[in-house]
Amino acid sequence: MPTIHILVKGKVQGVFYRATAKEMADRYGITGWVRNTEEGNVELMASGKEEDLQRFVDWCRKGPKRALVEDVFVATEAESSFTEFTVLR
């Protein structure tokens, strides 16, 4: 499956970004993971169909209601075979 690495910057911690990303990933059939970074960002690795990945990235650009997304960086990665979408702590 195509895989992308996403880095989301802004007010994205403490606003249920990771939990909501899991809900959206499950909705779009995306596998991979999401975690907070020490710098205050959110990092995601996502695998899925191209159109589903695009919908997921579109959601990442907005985030949950309380988030204030300033920047989203997306990079293509080597294909991966995750079995589910996990929230990492």
> Which positions are catalytic?
18, 36
How crowded is residue 73: how many other Cβ atoms within 10 Å of its Cβ?
11
Spell out the alpha helix ranges (H) of 1-89. Answer: 17-28, 50-62
CA–CA separation, 25 vs 82, rounded Å?
Answer: 12
Query: Do 83 and 6 contact (CB within 8 A), yes or no?
Result: no
